[in-house]
Each structure stands twice: as structure tokens, then as C-alpha cells.
Copies of this chain bind each other. A is one copy, B any other.
Amino acid sequence: MKRRLLLVSNSTLHGGGYLQHCQQQIQDFYGKNVKRILFIPYALHDRDAYSKTARDKFKTLGYEVDSVHETSDPVDAVRKAEGIFIGGGNTFRLLKSLYDNKLVTEIRNRVLEDGIPYMGSSAGTNVSTISINTTNDMPIVYPPTFAAIGLVPFNINPHYVDADPNSKHMGVRSNDHAQHHNSI
């Protein structure tokens, strides 16, 4: 089964609306056969507000959105999903919630075995890779492992920032990139 993935680095570009910069790609990706998309809002604290944002946007693109946090059985919701979208936020919070709700293996199976389309944005892209070891996010909660869904055989850093050689913040490691890796 061919896996179908749309991995977006971030949901908003400077000056644009939510998912505006990739809306054509979203429609091309889910196509006309998918009618309902299962949204996973775990990366942000306010799941109701987040799913409203996603629902409103996807409606303009012709898709209904079910948010997994509104269902009584998240595993069953994934089992029945025609397509999945995991939004961005904090990658640690997202991964922990995916494990707490026993969705990691379930999503992997649906995407890799059943071939349903998976879209991730930012943190939703991070968790689609081997592990979250390359996230820039702050470790606000402790997931049971850093291993992620594993839809692709590599890791991604969706918000990589080139080093600023002119920065005078700190010393030998004076750039933003190194700062993400190390506290010297």
C-alpha cells in the first residue's frame, strides 16, 4: 500500500490566514473522494477552539471535520477515518496525548496498511517521523517515549532557522540554531 502524506512545516505564513498558503495542496491531496477528515487537536491546550479553527477552514475547502477529542472512542474514530489531519502546537504535548489515547499504532496502521491520507502541520509533521528528537519545542510534558508514528524513515525539523553569524547572544555558541541544541 502506498502511503499518502502531506507534511507541512507550519499552518500560517507571515501575513496569511490559517492554512492559506497550502490550501490548493490540501485539496489536491485529500481529493474529492474524502468527505470527512479526522482532526487531532492534541498539540494545543484549547482543543475546542482549535478544532473550530480547523473545521471552519476545511469547510471552505469542501471537507467536514470531526475532531477526535469530541468522540467517545478516539481509537475507533481513527479506525473509521477517511483521512487524518494533525495540527501543530507543542510536539511533546501532542505525542504524549497520542500515546495516552493509544493512537500511535492505530494511526500508523491506518496510513501504512490502509493507505488513508495523513496531513501533518508542524508538530503534526514532527510526530509523523521516526522520533521527536529533532523538535525545537519546549519539553512541557513528559511523553512515554520520543519514538513517534514513524510514517517516514527519517526525522524533520519543520522550523529550522539558519545560524546568525552576527549574533552576540552568548559566546562560542552564539547562534540561534546551536541554542536549540545546547545550553553552554
Contacts and interface: CB of A to CB of B under 8 A. Distances in A.
Interface residues of A, number: 49
A14 B174 contact: yes
Between A11, A138, A176, the greatest number of chain B beta carbons within 10 A of the residue's beta carbon is seen for A138
Interface in A130-184: 132-142, 145-146, 158-159, 161, 168-174, 176, 179-184
Contact of A132 (B10, B126, B139): B139
A138 B12 contact: no
Interface of A is mostly: loop
Interface in A7-43: 10-16, 43
Contact of A122 (B133, B135, B158, B184): B184
A142 B137 CA distance: 15
A142 B136 contact: no
